[in-house]
Structure 1
Amino acid sequence: MYRRIKNSVITGIVVALMIIFPLNAQEQSIDLSGAWKVTLNTATNIEDNSLGNNKLKGIIQLPSSLAQQGFGIKTEGSEYGVLTPEYKYLGVAVFEKEIIIPQNWKDKLLTIFLERVLWQSKVFIDGKNISTQDALGTPHMHHIGSLSPGKHQLVIEVDNEMIHNIGDKGHAYGAYTQSIWNGIVGKIEIRAQDPTYVHSVRTFSLIDKDQLKVELDITAHKDEKANIQLQIRELDKQEIVRELNVTRKIKGGSNKLEISLDLEGKLKKWNEFDPTVYILTAEIATKKYSDYYETEFGFQEIGHNGTNVTINGDPVFLRGNLDCVHFPLTGYPSTNIEDWVKIFKTYKDYGLNHARFHSWCPPEAAFKAANRVGIYLQAEASIWIDWWMSVDMKAKGRPEMDTKGYPKGLGLDPDRDTFVIDEMNRVVDTYGNHPSFTMFCIGNELGNSDFDVMKGWVADLKTMDNRRLYSVSTARKITEVDDYMATHYIQGVGRTRGLNGPQTDWDFEDIYSQMNIPIIAHEIGQWPVYPTWDEIDKYTGVLKARNFEGFREVAERNGIADQDRDFKMASGALNQILFKYEIESFLRTKSCAGIQLLSMQDYQGQGEALIGWLDAFWDSKGITTPQKFKQHLDETVPLLRMKKYVWNTDETFEANAQISHYGQYPIEGGIIIATILNDKGSILKEERWSIKDLDIGSLTDIGKFNFPLNSIDHAQKLTISLALEDSRFKNTWDIWVYPSNLPQIDEGGIHFANSLHEEALKALKNGEKVLLFANQLGTDKNSVELNFHPLYWSLTFFPGQGKTNIGLLVQNEHSAMKKFPTSFHSDWQWESIMKTSKGFVLNSTP
């Protein structure tokens, strides 16, 4: 058990650190980054996978985590189903340094600002406990009052134990992705303010009135007049766009002021296409005191029209992706804008415009980056508690799913619920001005929570701040306070996602059209891709891919380790075929508000769900390109409805063409060009349709496409193309055509067998030909059932699927495939064949 050291004296530390810190922002802050003394709890239990080479005290450079600088318990072996931290530590870490308060800070109000901490931080000044903070999704702001000029001893205790019982399976606190780290990251500083200061500023865009409403929360030292200056300028520009100077009477204590600025048409509206960001500065001055506050905002209004989210009145289709804290080098989320800009530009490269932060809220850098790039964000209040987390999963034979603390659902634990309400308010208060912050919900799949209680929390939040759309939970249940819902199933209505066979003439309109709020398809994709062993070398930071090393050892024992790239490309091709198949079904659904993919990047937890076309470092695996992926996920997408992928030559190919449009402007007119190409690239048919007046948010029928297939003289793949002339918007589909009448084959000399019985073996021994129908053979040990659709997410996390395969690797140049058109991977022409097929384990085969 950790015992606080009296008077904040760290046993075993004799070196005193005294730093003269630089003053910033007109001497209103002191940067505390640099060298600190750190001591860990020496009574911490040493885990079984410890190497015994444990560093528990010393000098650490902050900002950082303990693991980044080798503090904690050095591990060996692999964690089950997750990446393994090289160093682990769970408990209190004590950080200490001497600070110097400048003479001109006498009587100023001081705050210790810690940008990101996991989980609780306590601040001690000269041995006195001053403040405790426990936010997961926002900075820790320790208000310490005034300090006398001169030297003071600052101690910060950081505890990464589970402070409130929310379990350890969510992404704000858990080992699935970011690790349960200890340390302080991002900005670490002391901030000084006069006794009269601006506590917060909120911006409200009133587009219909061409006004910006500004709400100021001002703390005043006494009753007096204050001069207030508001200025607006565009980000990275010096020119003042709008300015207003007013005088207001303020009273001692808290003051809520509201000021409206007439904009005179000078502000651009923020959206994904034109993400113009503005800086609002608010300066307050009294006879003795002054303060300055700066915030980013966008001139934007968020709403919905019943089925679509609207930005400034225009419907958008949310082309989203789940972010579950993917930073394997550090094990914690970046606080640098540049890192997030790079991530969100990758989103844009692949046609995406939306990110959902699954059960966590990122640092402010993510919001600022999304403001600049034009990404719509859904943040959550650090919670994921579903029914299975509240029960003993070890007793059910699923130890990998066992959740620390077995947390009760929300609404059932008053102390923990107080934290959740505070966390909700902190997230909205801290990041509320960012135009990218378009949606908010409490957390993920809150299946065993009290929805009547939670909807009251959300209703209160909506009353306090109506600038975005709110939802109680991602999935599980829709309530009357929800402005939108991301879900896979609507109670009493039906499923909002799924597969519907080898065809594209289907949608979910009968489900989505019944709803009066935007419905977003939940966690689309989850199709695994085989790993390549060279990725192991990329894990040079705190998290190690020892699980991958174990996979490689298994592959080596099975004699297939050298085929990892081939397996990746084959499984990756099927991954992309199914992404396209699913995504287009939602674009064909007029009332669908969007999708949230799971995901474009790999997920390192839950049994290594390697489901992305990017790896965990956001690097491409080479299984698709931005240009190819954007064919079926972009602001404007041509679509094709056809009854099947496989045709015969005595049939007429029939399809209906549509176009989905969610661009910045309506399409006034254009030409859609439809073509059919044969396997040589020659055009077999071309057709043109004129289109005009396509509204934003429209799904438009273009025309019917027919082509008799009797001119096809051999089995081949045809490619159907739909393109909007003189634009980048083009989409393609492959179909396969086979002769209706097959030539007679001389079967003489061929033995047909359903098993390797004595007669078949004798024929083989005599050099004769045997055709073995093996799909009914095999045992559970030497064969597996095949399925065109690969296993879902992770076999570790979802066993018992009845699937173990993730596609075919085909020797497509083999003579056996001469008259069966195929690539090196599974595609739709294999779908019917694989239904009744088996795969055999050949390890012991001679």
Structure 2
Amino acid sequence: MIATIGLEGTWEFQLDGDKQGLQVAYDDTIALPGTTSYAGKGKRNHDAHAGSLTDEYEFEGWAWYSKTVELPEELAGSTIMLYLERTRVTTVWINGEAAGTQNSLCAPHVYNVTNQLKQGINTITIRVDNTYYPTKGGHMTSRDTQTNWNGITGRIELQCYGTAYLEEVRTYPNVADRSVTVKAKLVGTREGIINVSAAIANGSNSHTAAGMTYMVSGEEIEFIYPLGTDALLWSEWEPNVYQLRIGLQQGELTTDVHETFVGLREFKTGDGAFTINGAKTFLRGKHDGLIFPLTGFAPTTVEEWLSVLTTAKSYGMNHYRFHTCCPPEAAFEAADRLGIYMEPELPFWGTVTDESYENHNAVEQQYLIEEGYRMLKAFGNHPSFVMMSLGNELWGSKERIDEILSNYKAFDNRPLYTQGSNNFQFVPVILEHEDFYCGVRFSRDRLIRGSYAMCDAPLGHVQVGPQGTLKDYDDAIVPQGAAVKQAGSAAGDGTIQIQYGTETKVVQAEAAEGELVPHVPVVSHEIGQFQTYPDYNEIAKYTGPLKARNFELFKERLEEKGLGHLAHDYHVSSGRLAVASYKEELEAAFRSKRLAGFQLLDLQDFSGQGTALVGMLDAFMESKGLISPEEWRTFCSDAVLLARFPKYNYAAGELFEADIQLRYLRPDALSGFKLSWELRAGEETLASGHAIASAYGSGDFVEIGRIALDMPEVTEMTKTSLNLQIEGTDIRKSYDLWIYPSNIEVDSSGVSVFEELSDEAAAVLEQGGRVVIMPKLDGLQNSIEGTYCVDFWCYPMFRSISESMNKPVPVGTMGLLIEQKHPLLSLFPSEIHSTEPWRQIVENSRSIILDGTDKSLQPIVQTIDNFERNHKLGLVFECRVGAGSLLICAVDAKQAAATLEGRQFLHSLFRYANSEDFSPQAELGLQQVRELLK
């Protein structure tokens, strides 16, 4: 390219929703780059989508854009391309003459308009259609993410070349000899002179390679450009990027200059792991669906992507998986500069077929295959583009999928390829030509993440226990002992019903006997999905075309139930439980030696699919105030300390043992480091010690040693913190542990305890007595099942899916809101949110639905419901009934008494019920109580 003519600015504009064709005169103008929605064009949308954000100016159809541009005399005779960086289906006319149609969703639209432009004034007309795509488009066009916008974003320009120029310039880094192999096509000539130079373009390091000149000939050219023996390598730790400049010379005249980023790197696989330049790395990935609420489309400037990716990196991320989408080039350039491993994905979520299928989708499939080639050509030079996926949760022909992989690898062997993300779900397979596997299980029970939806049960260990930090996925990845069937529970006709997006579908399930043992690196797919209750203060942040009317609707529902004053506490309490769940989820991944990485869903909230507020960051990639990046990195970074112990609750004098490990993923050795540890209760140190060990470079899994101590004697329930620190580094970790007095006795004497509101219980209340009701759980109709973990993804979506699959509906609750200063808990000190002492108690409980009761009846221990139901749920609550005092606790007393923490809870509860502090203020009638306990 020798010159550009920018086309950004004001364009004449006309909406054509009914596709009638361009009217005689344009009736409006619009600023490009941009979209119709961002510009506020069209009829205002007054809908309120409960399951996603609402586009205030949603438009689908044709939109016409026109602009006049002057072609200067000095550019006459040039080869000229119209470049549209990112758009939908475009049809172009130059001075009224058709120039063609293009339909890539992921790559730029480039039109050769050399023969249609004339010297002087020209009119460029572009029709953009955002309907009837060859494919549904995944998250490139989804309302759930960046919306199905209409417009043109990014660079819009005329690119001018000489009569001879380079096309499809591709660079192949060679780490061994510090060189770059350049391949390209010569257009307009069959010989020329190539002048090449390169210099580091970012960071604190500097290096300039010697310029070189090459005589080339033929249609396809290839040469090797040495960067020098002292050339710098690219990795997550040192993202050294070279700006490579390639000039094509014809005689004395330069007719084309091509600039591209190059990073010297080898991203490979070996021994079940990923390596970068020979050093092991562990993928700490983030899902991304191109959610940008202030615009409704993905940014196209490097500065915007640097901001987003820098935030992700501050939370320990080194990898991005783009769910059924591909970001603009600016994202790859930002990732180049920051050292983030990128995995774009074809915009497809469906079934790959061959001719043997009854509904062979040949047109869509060919489009998607071509889209993959377009992505490789457009972005493949970026060092950050290290992986590629064929789509999300695909089904269909394994042979056809493998054939597509094989063809891509033959065309471009620079990235690593996978058949897709979580393909074939319950019946996974590893194909011949895929380089790594991404999924959630290897059979029904061989799970490699910690949480699942009810429709995909069994649930994960984070959701159902056990307590402690011993869980890893090594045996699930490579099982020991007896053979494991690969297949799930297929029907007699060989089909299986699965979750598919926000719906269900029936697919063919080929049952295979024996173990599926992976021989490629394994990446755990979409881990986490722990939901937090909405923060309604976020509504004010939606100042762009997307409005949080879903949040407004949820807020109205909560207020209608009389619970609006609890919204902030719901958000904080559910969020803190989600933090603890993510910590265990991530640590289980780091504990797994056979796991090569994970892809989190998600670090940020997901705005659609029912509204899934699963992030520590909101949809704007801004903190929710739940955890700092520094604290998050203690369990998600390139150096993670791990303590492995069986439980969190201990009796005084009981032996505590923990094996201390270090998952070390930094390139520099850490020889003879000193680990210091201490067990603290507040400001008091209860025990301490240290150990010496070494880590010899990236990929080390260091067994540091064992901590063993008798828990100190305590006279009351005591929360402690086990703190680990590698001295002189930022590597640290802490775990909460609880110690209980020995020989805790549950003494209910002096208290009238009943299983129901019997006549006897009513008589005690009428006489002004004190009654505790601990009802039989299986008889409580007006209640919700007890569960410890927060809801998975979001209740509305998976309730609907479970119902359609005739499977159990999720419990859908989001942890506890605890009145921690209430005297009932004086001997069972608690946070405002669920913590491990509550796990076994809650899992053997039910929460009573208190809808319609007076606002004064505030449960002492309340279960947080999801934003669809918004039940007022009481686990422990009290009220006056006539002259008496009633305390209701919907916990299985027998099960609670069988555990250390349960006995402590009952001890505290009965002590309170027998004290003067037991003086409820809210009042209910006998009949009301009977209705609640029916």
Confirm whether residue 704 of structure 1 aligns to residue 712 of structure 2. Answer: no
Give the equivalent residue in structure 1 for 2:236. Answer: 272
Q: Which moves more between the two structures, 34-43 or 579-588?
A: 34-43
Contact map agreement 1:241 1:266 (CA 8 A) in 2: no
Give the equivalent residue in structure 1 for 2:449. Answer: 497
Amino acid at match of 2:764: A
* SS across alignment from 1:145: coil
Q: Deviations over 1:301-359 (max 9, x none)?
A: 11011311111011101111101111011111000111111111111211111111111
Query: Which stretches of structure 1, 4 residues or more, deviate above 4 A after TM superposition?
Result: 236-240, 408-411, 777-780
Give the equivalent residue in structure 2 for 1:403. Answer: none
Q: Tell me: CA distance 1:692–1:280, structure 2 relative to 1, closer, same or farther (3 Å).
A: same
Amino acid at match of 2:89: Q
Q: Structure 1: how far apart are the matches of 2:181 and 2:216?
A: 19
Give the equivalent residue in structure 2 for 1:40. Answer: 15
Confirm whether residue 243 of structure 1 aligns to residue 213 of structure 2. Answer: no
Give the equivalent residue in structure 2 for 1:813. Answer: 821
The 5-angstrom pairing of residues 456-605 of structure 1 reads 456-476=403-423, 477=428, 478-491=430-443, 494-498=446-450, 499-500=460-461, 501-513=466-478, 514-605=517-608
Give the equivalent residue in structure 2 for 1:768. Answer: 769
Give the equivalent residue in structure 2 for 1:140. Answer: 109
Confirm whether residue 331 of structure 1 aligns to residue 296 of structure 2. Answer: yes
Aligned pair partner of 1:689 in 668, 688, 691: 691
Report the CA distance between 1:651 and its aligned residue.
2.0
Confirm whether residue 842 of structure 1 aligns to residue 850 of structure 2. Answer: yes
Contact map agreement 2:816 2:834 (CA 8 A) in 1: yes
Q: Tell me: CA distance 1:746–1:556, structure 2 relative to 1, closer, same or farther (3 Å).
A: closer
Aligned pair partner of 1:434 in 382, 386, 389: 382
Report the CA distance between 1:744 and its aligned residue.
6.9
Q: Structure 2: how far apart are the matches of 1:439 and 1:783?
A: 48
Confirm whether residue 413 of structure 1 aligns to residue 414 of structure 2. Answer: no
Report the CA distance between 1:677 and its aligned residue.
1.1
Q: Structure 1: how far apart are the matches of 2:420 and 2:700?
A: 29
Q: Structure 1: how far apart are the matches of 2:741 and 2:469?
A: 23
Q: Structure 2: how far apart are the matches of 1:779 and 1:833?
A: 17
Q: Structure 1: how far apart are the matches of 2:170 and 2:381?
A: 6
Q: Tell me: CA distance 1:510–1:774, structure 2 relative to 1, closer, same or farther (3 Å).
A: same
Confirm whether residue 92 of structure 1 aligns to residue 62 of structure 2. Answer: yes
Report the CA distance between 1:171 and its aligned residue.
0.4
Contact map agreement 1:445 1:474 (CA 8 A) in 2: yes
Aligned pair partner of 2:171 in 203, 213, 222: 203
* TM-score normalized with structure 1 length: 0.89
Q: Structure 2: how far apart are the matches of 1:798 and 1:622?
A: 27
* SS across alignment from 2:559: helix
Q: Tell me: CA distance 1:506–1:42, structure 2 relative to 1, closer, same or farther (3 Å).
A: closer
Give the equivalent residue in structure 2 for 1:101. Answer: 71
Contact map agreement 1:778 1:840 (CA 8 A) in 2: no
* SS across alignment from 1:473: coil
Paired positions, count: 781
Q: Structure 2: how far apart are the matches of 1:42 and 1:663?
A: 55
Q: Structure 1: how far apart are the matches of 2:443 and 2:569?
A: 42
Q: Structure 1: how far apart are the matches of 2:192 and 2:847?
A: 79
Q: Deviations over 1:568-600 (max 9, x none)?
A: 110000000000011111111111111111001
Report the CA distance between 1:264 and its aligned residue.
2.6
Contact map agreement 1:97 1:153 (CA 8 A) in 2: yes
Give the equivalent residue in structure 1 for 2:663. Answer: 660
Q: Tell me: CA distance 1:247–1:622, structure 2 relative to 1, closer, same or farther (3 Å).
A: closer
Confirm whether residue 342 of structure 1 aligns to residue 307 of structure 2. Answer: yes
Report the CA distance between 1:44 and its aligned residue.
6.6
Confirm whether residue 174 of structure 1 aligns to residue 149 of structure 2. Answer: no
* SS across alignment from 1:463: helix
Confirm whether residue 788 of structure 1 aligns to residue 758 of structure 2. Answer: no
Aligned pair partner of 1:286 in 232, 237, 250: 250
Q: Structure 1: how far apart are the matches of 2:597 and 2:144?
A: 26
Give the equivalent residue in structure 2 for 1:111. Answer: 81
Q: Tell me the C-alpha RMSD between the 2 structures.
A: 2.3
Q: Structure 1: how far apart are the matches of 2:760 and 2:360?
A: 70
Q: Structure 1: how far apart are the matches of 2:743 and 2:26?
A: 77
Q: Tell me: CA distance 1:216–1:410, structure 2 relative to 1, closer, same or farther (3 Å).
A: farther
Aligned pair partner of 2:728 in 720, 726, 729: 726
Contact map agreement 2:90 2:127 (CA 8 A) in 1: yes
* SS across alignment from 1:567: helix
The 5-angstrom pairing of residues 63-74 of structure 1 reads 63-74=33-44
Q: Structure 1: how far apart are the matches of 2:823 and 2:445?
A: 51
Give the equivalent residue in structure 2 for 1:445. Answer: 393
Give the equivalent residue in structure 2 for 1:187. Answer: 155
Give the equivalent residue in structure 1 for 2:347. Answer: 382
Contact map agreement 2:17 2:62 (CA 8 A) in 1: no
Q: Which moves more between the two structures, 707-716 or 657-666?
A: 707-716
Q: Tell me: CA distance 1:556–1:409, structure 2 relative to 1, closer, same or farther (3 Å).
A: farther
Report the CA distance between 1:452 and its aligned residue.
1.1
Q: Structure 2: how far apart are the matches of 1:425 and 1:410?
A: 27
Contact map agreement 1:412 1:450 (CA 8 A) in 2: no
Report the CA distance between 1:115 and its aligned residue.
0.8
Contact map agreement 2:17 2:63 (CA 8 A) in 1: no
Give the equivalent residue in structure 1 for 2:192. Answer: 226
Contact map agreement 1:790 1:803 (CA 8 A) in 2: no
Q: Structure 1: how far apart are the matches of 2:272 and 2:17?
A: 57
Give the equivalent residue in structure 2 for 1:3. Answer: none
Q: Structure 2: how far apart are the matches of 1:410 and 1:424?
A: 25
Q: Deviations over 1:372-406 (max 9, x none)?
A: 1111111112112269xx9xxxxxxxxxxxxxxxx
Contact map agreement 1:411 1:450 (CA 8 A) in 2: no
Amino acid at match of 2:289: C
Q: Structure 2: how far apart are the matches of 1:832 and 1:245?
A: 70
Q: Structure 2: how far apart are the matches of 1:312 and 1:409?
A: 43
Q: Structure 1: how far apart are the matches of 2:431 and 2:231?
A: 36
* SS across alignment from 2:777: coil
Give the equivalent residue in structure 2 for 1:7. Answer: none
Amino acid at match of 2:194: I
| Structure 2 spans left out of the alignment, 5+ residues | 451-459, 479-516, 803-808, 855-934
Report the CA distance between 1:557 and its aligned residue.
0.8
Give the equivalent residue in structure 2 for 1:621. Answer: 624
Q: Structure 2: how far apart are the matches of 1:239 and 1:672?
A: 36
Amino acid at match of 1:33: E
Aligned pair partner of 1:216 in 184, 192, 196: 184
Report the CA distance between 1:250 and its aligned residue.
2.5
* SS across alignment from 1:584: helix
* SS across alignment from 2:149: coil
Q: Tell me: CA distance 1:129–1:659, structure 2 relative to 1, closer, same or farther (3 Å).
A: same
Q: Deviations over 1:45-74 (max 9, x none)?
A: 9xxxxxxxxx99411111110011221231
Contact map agreement 2:184 2:221 (CA 8 A) in 1: yes
Contact map agreement 1:613 1:623 (CA 8 A) in 2: yes
Q: Tell me: CA distance 1:64–1:710, structure 2 relative to 1, closer, same or farther (3 Å).
A: closer
Q: Tell me: CA distance 1:340–1:194, structure 2 relative to 1, closer, same or farther (3 Å).
A: same
Q: Which moves more between the two structures, 771-780 or 313-322?
A: 771-780
Give the equivalent residue in structure 2 for 1:312. Answer: 277
| Structure 1 spans left out of the alignment, 5+ residues | 1-24, 46-54, 391-407
* TM-score normalized with structure 2 length: 0.81
Report the CA distance between 1:262 and its aligned residue.
2.6
Amino acid at match of 2:785: E
